[in-house]
Amino acid sequence: MNAYEEYMKQIVQPMRQELTGHGFTELTSVEEVENHMESAKGISFIVINSVCGCAAGLARPAAIEAIENLTQKPDHLVTVFAGQDQEATERMRNYFSEVPPSSPSMAIWKDGQLAYFIPREQIENFSKEAIVDHVQGVLEQLVTS
């Protein structure tokens, strides 16, 4: 690993831990993504993490708060890190290729198919509270249906 790669690894570690510390499983390889996506039953809440400011100030905090306040939680919480784990992120995006790549973003995978997608455009210009409400509304509807 060169000095740049080592530096980036250290820089993004807290960004990874923000989600993994709240119950998200990080998928860092193509195999991990495929294993999850092919075998997961029920609902997976997927956060496509990013280094950008809207991920730090909005997407990660909103995802965490939305999950913490749900009475019925999704079956799985997973994350891939765009720009860091590129092959895993690309493989994840292939599962919902009908939507353009976007990071940060959030996807809800239910019973083997994309049930809902929240692109960067519905994150970066919104308040954290609006994003929390959006995520909770969708998840509550999907968990009970």
| CATH number of residue 36's parent domain | 3.40.30.10
d(CA 55, CA 123): 8
Domain count within the chain? 1
Whether residue 10 lies inside any domain: the answer is no
Residue pLDDT, tens place only, 42-81: 999 999 999 988 899 999 999 999 999 898 899 999 999 9
The residues carrying an active-site annotation are: 52, 54
pLDDT at 1 over 90: no
Average pLDDT over residues 103-126: 96
The 8-class DSSP code of residue 105 comes to: E
- Residue 18 in any domain: the answer is no
Rounded to whole angstroms, the Cα distance separating 106 from 120 reads 8
Whether 139 and 108 have beta carbons less than 8 Å apart is answered as: yes
Alpha carbon distances (Å) from 138 to 21, 74, 118: 23, 11, 10
Residue-range definition of the domain harbouring residue 41: 24-139
Strand (E) positions, 4-143? 25-26, 43-49, 76-81, 105-110, 113-118
